[in-house]
Structure 1
Amino acid sequence: MLKKYSLKKQFILTFSLVLGCSIISVILTACLVTGMLNGKSIKAANYYEKKIYDIEKYINTKNDKLLNLDYEKELNKIIPSEGIRYRVVGLESNKSYGNLDEELYNQVDIVNKINTSDVDKKNNVTKYIPIVTENYQLKGAVILSYRLAVTSDSIPQSLISLITFILLISPFIYIVFFSYLFGKILSKNINDPLSKLKHATENIKENNLDFNIEYPYNNELGEVISSFEEMKNELKNTLNKQWNMEEERKEIISGLSHDLRSPLTIIKGKVEMLLEGSYKNEDRLISYLDSINKSTDRSIELVNDLNLINKLDSSDFNINPTSNNVINFLNQQITNFKDMAESKQIKIKLITENIQKDLEYTFDKNSIIRVMDNIISNAIRHTDLHGEINIKVTLYKSKLYFKISDNGNGFSNDDLKFALNKFYRGDKSRSAKSGNSGLGLYICKAIVEKHNGEINISNNSLGGAQVSFYLKFN
């Protein structure tokens, strides 16, 4: 009931409930006692004390006549015998009468206590009323004794005392009872989420992060649990990333050993043949040295690719954007691949939209050159003789879009799914022949993303491959 409120409000409401329920319970108890005693004559604690005034008035009226024993009946009518005991004492005649023990008082004490009242520890009151003559001579005294307590004509005094005691301590009893009851509820409201947190910490200690903590209330404990859940999820993501990084590290080592094996095997084989005497044949020597040189370059290129990947994957890697003329940059890229394209009689066509000759755009030139080199060289490599490669560049909403397509054999279904991953090789035999390490498109993807862009691969309407990406420099 109180779980949805803040802890401060829960404490306030709990205190209010304890106080409110205690007050109501005390009222109900008093009403119940009143109902039980309905019809009984209950006298207040000062009931008999109020009678003293009339008694004292009667005594002052009769004066020393009260010393006559004939007035005993009259006094018995005036003084209620069930609550007040009395004794009339004459100082000269030693006459006395009444229902109060005579031997408890002596004349000296009586004279000294005239017009006074004694109250003992049990609230018993003894009052001394003088008896004087018309000439104001002291002749005696009327001693009245009564008790300041609730009384009843039909209920035993012991029961009256018990009821009075219960009524007096009932507020404390109810406060203790309701404090325990509502305190237990409050304790449960607090302990439930704390128990969940404790169980969660035990799961984390056992390296189990596949759990959820459910607490639907938006209070301080809910905020703590929500923060703990976020911490757990972040820890889980961090561990997953760490695991993925470990898997990638293993994949990189495996891919590196695989890719380095081929050029190193070639180098080792050629060197062994030269050591066996093949160096004596000049043509063969030149051929072997050329093969060793190309294999060495391939090994260096692979190591450079791996170093670049490590840099690109690092969170503190930064590109170096500069302002570049887009048309000049594109023409230079086409010129770089002119010889390679002409060797296969492939035509490279450049198409631009919304790009003026003097348009300047900010990007890391060396990084984008690497992206263009990889995509265009792949297009030339997989395009047949007399083929065509189209490079379309568009400026739209401050983004620079590139679309490079060819009319070659295009991407396979597996290529479309995995070509942007590390060390992916579509046609394994073709990859070995072309020296494809499976890192090229992944590097392109990492560089484009560093430029706040995105890269996609697809097949165009002619069935050839198409690589699209955009750059956005904020």
Structure 2
Amino acid sequence: MFKKYSLKKQFISTFVLVLVCSMISVVVTVIIGISLINGKNIKPANYYENMIPKIESYIKSNNIKLLDKDYKNKLYELIPSKGIKYEVIDLDNTTSYGTLERNLDNKKEIIDRINTSYVDKKNNVDKYIPIISEDYYLKGVVILNYTLEVSSDNIPQSIISLVSITILVSPFIYIMLFSYLFGRKLAININEPLNKLKWASSKIRENDLDFDLEYPYNNELGEVISSFDEMKKELSSTLNKQWSIEEERKEIISGLSHDLRSPLTVIKGKVDMLLEGSYKNETRLITYLESINKSTDRAVMLVEDLNTINKLENSKFYILPSDNNIVNFLNEKLEGFMALAHEKAISINLVLENIDNEVVWRFDETAISRVLDNIITNAIRYTDNNGNIDIEICIKENRLYFKISDTGRGFSNNDLKFALNKFYRGDKARGVSSGNSGLGLYICKIIIEKHNGEIMISNSENKGANVEFYIKNASKGYCSK
């Protein structure tokens, strides 16, 4: 019942159903209660109260005559003995008669209550009516006593009270009863999908993702189950990817170990030869030392790349931005590349747009310098002699754009797909020979993303490589995790 509705509609419908059923039940209860005592002289709660004005009028018309006990029978005929009790008190003689017993010692209290009606906690009413002489002196008091309750001459008052109480409390009883019944049904509707989620959670805890989670209704619970099922599928996919990554990492680490072993082997071999006496030949000594130096640089580079990536992926790593003059920064960087480019007769062309000698940009100088070192060094390495490298830099919409293009052989199809991934080295033979760890572009990607930027690679029309990226202008005190 109501399963297909939203939770809000289920709660409202259940609440309305409880109220409607309770109201119908109360009406039925009232009808049954009335039918049980119908036609048996049921008197409403104010039945005797409505008789008081007539009795009061009789008392005022007779006044001090009522102090004569001969009027006792007349009052008895006028006042119904079962519903109203009375007491006639002569204040001068402190005498009284009637069906109501009152203590005459407290005369002041009686006088204070003249022309008033006193109601106690049990709805018993005492009405004090004065008896006035012709010369307007207070001579006595008539006390009328009656109870405000439903009564009958033929039905015991206990039964009437029981029926009345039942009718009064029945709304609360029915509300509690139907709240329990319909609330239990609502709880079942809600618990059914929740139990499915608990079951699914236990399956995941047991590393079992081979199950389907379904719920036929499109409400909030259905959406939760659908989201949970999507999460399960995504988790399954992620775990499979993680497994593939781990396998790939094992392969790459094995390759890196081999790469690191190569320079260490060279170093070890050269050192052994020197220890055996080769150091006595000056020419051979210099050649061996140069070989050891290159192998050491290669090993250090591999270790530094791994150390760098570990730092960048650490959640506690922060960039340290500072204000930098863009033109001065670029001139210093290009000065270092000119020597490498000159060896291959490569021309490096710098084009600036919307940037003059006064423009300052806030970024981590060391980190961005490493990005340019990696990209431009690779461009020089893979550009043939007499080639060109174009560096275009501009500012647009609070972004500093870089584009480095070369006339080399460009990226392969696999490079375009995976070059920004960690440990990707493309041509493995080239990677080994060059000491490439497969982390260069990935490190660049992480640094640029920490500057709230993005890096993209492509091939130009002349089949050369394009590397484009942008960084945002960091605010004062800005640190990106």
Instruction: Letter of the 1:217 partner, please give it.
Output: N
Paired with 1:415 and 1:469, the residues of 2 have a C-alpha distance of 17
Paired with 1:361 and 1:290, the residues of 2 have a C-alpha distance of 41
Paired with 1:367 and 1:199, the residues of 2 have a C-alpha distance of 49
Paired with 1:264 and 1:418, the residues of 2 have a C-alpha distance of 29
- Corresponding residue of 2:7: 4
- Corresponding residue of 1:351: 351
- Corresponding residue of 2:274: 274
Matches within 5 A, 1:329-348: 329-348=329-348
Paired with 1:235 and 1:208, the residues of 2 have a C-alpha distance of 14
Paired with 1:314 and 1:245, the residues of 2 have a C-alpha distance of 18
Conserved 8 A contact 1:390-1:406: yes
Task: Please list the CA deviations of residues 224-262 of structure 1 after superposition, one character each: whole Å capped at 9, or x if unmatched.
Answer: x58995997799599859878866864664353133122
Paired with 1:436 and 1:380, the residues of 2 have a C-alpha distance of 15
Paired with 1:21 and 1:256, the residues of 2 have a C-alpha distance of 82
Conserved 8 A contact 1:22-1:178: no
Q: Secondary structure at the match of 1:452?
A: coil
Paired with 1:469 and 1:441, the residues of 2 have a C-alpha distance of 12
For the pair 1:375 / 2:375, whether they are aligned, the reply is: yes
Paired with 2:31 and 2:244, the residues of 1 have a C-alpha distance of 70
Please provide the CA RMSD for this pair: 4.2
Conserved 8 A contact 1:255-1:423: no
Conserved 8 A contact 2:454-2:469: yes
Paired with 1:20 and 1:252, the residues of 2 have a C-alpha distance of 76
- Corresponding residue of 2:318: 318
- Corresponding residue of 1:264: 264
**Bigger CA drift: 280-289 or 344-353?**
280-289
For the pair 1:420 / 2:423, whether they are aligned, the reply is: no
- Corresponding residue of 1:217: 219
Conserved 8 A contact 1:401-1:471: yes
- Corresponding residue of 2:22: 19
Task: Please list the CA deviations of residues 376-396 of structure 1 after superposition, one character each: whole Å capped at 9, or x if unmatched.
Answer: 111111111111111111111
Matches within 5 A, 1:150-299: 182=182, 184-208=184-208, 214=215, 216-218=218-220, 229=228, 236=235, 250=250, 253-299=253-299
Q: Normalising by the residue count of structure 2, what TM-score does the alignment of the two structures yield? A: 0.61
Larger radius of gyration: 1
Q: 1:466 to 1:190 in 2, by over 3 A?
A: closer
Q: Normalising by the residue count of structure 1, what TM-score does the alignment of the two structures yield? A: 0.62
Matches within 5 A, 1:28-107: 44-45=39-40
Q: 1:416 to 1:23 in 2, by over 3 A?
A: same
Conserved 8 A contact 2:213-2:225: no
The alpha carbon displacement at 1:456 in A equals 0.8
Q: Secondary structure at the match of 2:425?
A: coil
- Corresponding residue of 1:435: 435
- Corresponding residue of 1:361: 361
Paired with 2:328 and 2:180, the residues of 1 have a C-alpha distance of 85
**Bigger CA drift: 241-250 or 261-270?**
241-250
Instruction: Letter of the 1:201 partner, please give it.
Output: S
Paired with 2:248 and 2:350, the residues of 1 have a C-alpha distance of 38
Paired with 1:244 and 1:273, the residues of 2 have a C-alpha distance of 43
Instruction: Letter of the 1:205 partner, please give it.
Output: R
Conserved 8 A contact 2:387-2:408: yes
Q: 1:249 to 1:313 in 2, by over 3 A?
A: farther
Q: Secondary structure at the match of 2:330?
A: helix
Paired with 1:237 and 1:249, the residues of 2 have a C-alpha distance of 19
The alpha carbon displacement at 1:315 in A equals 1.6
Q: Secondary structure at the match of 1:417?
A: helix
Q: 1:433 to 1:178 in 2, by over 3 A?
A: closer
Paired with 1:177 and 1:432, the residues of 2 have a C-alpha distance of 80
Task: Please list the CA deviations of residues 74-100 of structure 1 after superposition, one character each: whole Å capped at 9, or x if unmatched.
Answer: xxxxxxxxxxxxxxxxxxxxxxxxxxx
Q: Secondary structure at the match of 1:22?
A: helix
- Corresponding residue of 1:460: 460
Q: 1:245 to 1:323 in 2, by over 3 A?
A: farther
- Corresponding residue of 1:60: none
Conserved 8 A contact 1:404-1:467: yes
Q: Secondary structure at the match of 1:204?
A: helix
Paired with 2:362 and 2:236, the residues of 1 have a C-alpha distance of 34
- Corresponding residue of 2:405: 405
Q: 1:351 to 1:183 in 2, by over 3 A?
A: closer
Q: Secondary structure at the match of 1:324?
A: strand
Paired with 1:418 and 1:309, the residues of 2 have a C-alpha distance of 17
Paired with 1:12 and 1:206, the residues of 2 have a C-alpha distance of 40
- Corresponding residue of 1:387: 387
Task: Please list the CA deviations of residues 149-182 of structure 1 after superposition, one character each: whole Å capped at 9, or x if unmatched.
Answer: 8xxxxxxxxxxxxxx9xxx9xx89x969967764
Q: 1:351 to 1:228 in 2, by over 3 A?
A: closer
Q: 1:237 to 1:327 in 2, by over 3 A?
A: farther
Instruction: Letter of the 1:188 partner, please give it.
Output: I
Paired with 2:408 and 2:441, the residues of 1 have a C-alpha distance of 18
Q: Secondary structure at the match of 1:441?
A: helix
Paired with 1:312 and 1:344, the residues of 2 have a C-alpha distance of 33
Task: Please list the CA deviations of residues 185-226 of structure 1 after superposition, one character each: whole Å capped at 9, or x if unmatched.
Answer: 3342233233224323322332346765756434xx789x58
Q: Secondary structure at the match of 2:349?
A: strand
The alpha carbon displacement at 1:320 in A equals 1.0
Instruction: Letter of the 1:15 partner, please give it.
Output: V
Conserved 8 A contact 1:354-1:394: yes
Q: Secondary structure at the match of 2:7?
A: coil
Conserved 8 A contact 1:319-1:364: yes
How much identity, in percent, do the aligned residues show? 53
The alpha carbon displacement at 1:271 in A equals 2.7
Q: 1:198 to 1:409 in 2, by over 3 A?
A: closer
The alpha carbon displacement at 1:26 in A equals 6.0
Q: Secondary structure at the match of 1:337?
A: helix
Q: 1:21 to 1:456 in 2, by over 3 A?
A: same
Paired with 1:322 and 1:267, the residues of 2 have a C-alpha distance of 40
